């Protein structure tokens, strides 16, 4: 059984945040730069209120992606990104007769699973949350003498 040091664990948490955030930041930026095309696509696939959905998608993908990357309110942001990812899977990737759609649906669920891990564990030491907790400016929750991840 492999045992990781605290430093290795925190480096893997940082890498995990970078990899997940990269997907959302690039997608959110692309939507931001192509507002008309994004709204038209949303309308084509039947998204209600495409203009409002565009604003929500850009805010969650770009804003949430940046917050998640930096590790700001990691637990909360990860939970929002997980819910958003499941919602987009259900909204845009349910044509299971198309193998690509089925794969996209399953990828979204896998991504949501990764976010759920961060929703439980927090961002780790190499995050804004972690640095604030180390300095005493953040919230560290302890139970039975065990320090848990920070929000």
- Distances, alpha carbon 75 to alpha carbons 41, 78, 107, 117, 132, in Å: 31, 5, 21, 9, 14
At a CB cut-off of 8 Å and minimum separation 6, what does 62 contact?
24, 25, 28, 29, 31, 32
pLDDT in tens, 74-111: 999 999 999 999 999 999 999 999 999 999 999 999 99
CB of 121 within 8 A of CB of 151?
no
Q: Has residue 118 got a pLDDT over 60?
A: yes
Q: Has residue 114 got a pLDDT over 90?
A: yes
User: Rounded to an integer, what distance in angstroms lies between the CA atom of residue 115 and that of residue 16?
Assistant: 9
Two tokens, residue 114: 């990764």
Two tokens, residue 11: 């480096």
User: Rounded to an integer, what distance in angstroms lies between the CA atom of residue 94 and that of residue 103?
Assistant: 10
CB of 133 within 8 A of CB of 141?
no
Mean per-residue pLDDT over the chain, rounded: 90
Confidence (pLDDT) at 3: 73
CB of 68 within 8 A of CB of 77?
yes
């Amino acid at each position: 059984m492999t045992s990781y040091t605290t430093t290795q664990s925190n480096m893997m948490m940082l890498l995990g945040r970078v990899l997940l955030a990269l997907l959302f930041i690039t997608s959110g930026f692309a939507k931001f730069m192509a507002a008309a095309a994004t709204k038209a696509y949303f309308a084509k696939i039947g998204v209600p209120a495409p203009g409002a959905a565009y604003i929500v998608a850009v805010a969650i993908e770009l804003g949430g992606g940046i917050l998640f990357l930096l590790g700001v309110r990691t637990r909360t942001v990860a939970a929002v990104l997980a819910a958003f990812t499941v919602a987009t899977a259900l909204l845009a990737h349910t044509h299971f007769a198309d193998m690509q759609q089925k794969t996209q649906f399953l990828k979204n669920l896998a991504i949501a699973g990764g976010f759920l891990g961060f929703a439980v564990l927090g961002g780790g030491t190499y995050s804004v949350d972690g640095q604030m907790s180390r300095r005493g400016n953040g919230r560290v929750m302890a139970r039975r003498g065990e320090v848990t991840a920070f929000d």
